[in-house]
Chains A and B, each alone.
Chain A
Amino acid sequence: MKITRRTFLKISGATAAGTLMGGLGFDLSSAELYAQELRIKGAKETTSICCYCSVGCGIIVHTDANGKVINAEGDPDHPISEGALCAKGASSYQIAINPNRLQKVRYRAPYSTSWKEVSWDWALDKIASNIKKSRDASFMEKNAQGQVVNRTNGIASVGSAALDNEECWLYQKFLRALGIIYIEHQARI
């Protein structure tokens, strides 16, 4: 007998009865064969909070013995999210494990058509020297009215709600010490 969608209901009804009579079609040994160890068994669990919207859902990140992320899912103890995550939160694993992540410092020289990879030290030295050059050239002690302003007019910054609180605070400290006043970020837009 060829079983098609058309005949399903017949079988289905039949098996409901069949089950009562003693377990038609079950195959215990095969199920045991298939059963496999839970992938995250013994993995290290680290609690985190989702990086996307502002609900603040709890995430548990599982890492293996090498410290590699192997799974990321909702934190069932979290009182707001109770283990839930939306499409974005549920995809957190692919942020960690993603061949397209930026992994090298890159530099694009003026008028260049391409990037080149550079070292952290080289880049930070050059940025620091650029900051000093821009700051020294644009620093204003007094404005047109003669009021003391002590500010750097030639540098601006946007960023960032993607930073942690501590980083945000440190970043504003960094920018204001340089005398920068054009300090903005996502909250404005």
Chain B
Amino acid sequence: MADKSFFIDTTKCTACRGCQIACKQWNKNPGTKTFQKGNHQNPPDLSISTFKLVRFNEVVLPGGEPQWYFFPDQCRHCMSPPCKEVADTKAKGAIIHDEKTGAVIFNPKVKIKSSDFKEIREACPYDIPRYNLNTNIMAKCTMCFDRISEGMLPACVKTCPTGAMSFGDREEMLEKANKRLEEVKGRYPDAMLANPEDVRTIYLLADDPKKYHKFAVAMNPFGITRKMALKHLFKPLNHIRHLVG
């Protein structure tokens, strides 16, 4: 199986939440008690019961008209998952990076200490990992590993009515993402792909990522481009090699 990726085109998402529920359905994750708090986003956040969450963000555009951005949030299945880098120093095999697909999987058989989990979560640039305090197991999107291993689409992708969600070979998804980006640039001049080189869940955003979600893109506190980072990072790379053995 080739390296896989998701492409999530938010310009096509209608927030029907089919993906949110299909994910729960496939994973048999329970519905949790929630309250209406003046927003349609519910449950309020990802959790051990919610691996996929459609975030609703209302913004007022210049000129006073509203826009409502929808962000079907999920694990990015990073090319180099920092959660795994940390986890490997804590409990061997707690996080698995599948060589064939690139899926980053939290091993439900490996327990993690609460304090270690905090570090793992803190390492994630997208704030994805969640933790069951009762069982000491971590949880998040599995890329529907069982489904994709059988050639099926992930549950969220399959259920998406509008084509906002795609899944397939990484090269194909990247191509699709870049092509779509060109198409929508006319209408959305600020449109962008969120960290496409770094992640296997590639979002197309029509506007400033912050208008979608705090963690829509990874933060870049140093003010350097990813290209620059690439050039300069052989040293840290070696450093990490040491760390993770």
Contact = CB atoms under 8 A, between A and B. Distances in A.
Whether A and B touch (Cβ < 8 Å) is answered with yes
Nearest to B229: A13
A8 B25 CA distance: 32
Nearest to B199: A12
Interface residues of A, number: 51
A65 interface: no
Contacts of B159: 73-74, 83-86, 89-90
Contacts, number: 181
Interface string B184-199: 0000000000010110
Contact of B218 (A9, A30, A71): A9
Interface in B154-182: 155, 158-161
A30 B119 contact: no
A49 B127 CA distance: 38
B86 A84 contact: no
Contact of B82 (A3, A23, A81): A3
B196 to A, nearest CB: 11
A11 B18 contact: no
B34 interface: no
A33 B107 CA distance: 9
Contact of A90 (B22, B96, B152, B197): B22
Contacts of B100: 31
Interface string B226-237: 100110011011
Contacts of A90: 18, 21-22, 25, 159
Contacts of A76: 158
Contacts of B96: 27, 30-31, 33-34
Interface in A11-68: 11-19, 23-28, 30-31, 33-39, 41
B201 to A, nearest CB: 13
A18 B22 CA distance: 35
A180 interface: no
A144 interface: no
B197 A16 contact: yes
Nearest to A12: B198
A13 B230 contact: yes
B152 to A, nearest CB: 8
17 contacts: A8-B82, A11-B236, A13-B197, A13-B226, A14-B230, A14-B234, A16-B80, A16-B230, A25-B80, A25-B85, A28-B98, A30-B96, A33-B93, A38-B147, A38-B150, A84-B158, A85-B159
Interface of A: 1-19, 23-28, 30-31, 33-39, 41, 71-74, 76, 81, 83-87, 89-91, 93-94
Q: Which 5 A-B pairs have the closest CB atoms?
A: A15-B80, A13-B229, A8-B125, A14-B237, A84-B161
Interface of B: 16-18, 20-22, 25-26, 78-82, 84-86, 88, 93, 96-100, 103, 105, 107, 119, 122-125, 127, 145-147, 149-150, 152-153, 155, 158-161, 195, 197-198, 218-222, 224, 226, 229-230, 233-234, 236-237, 239-241, 243-244
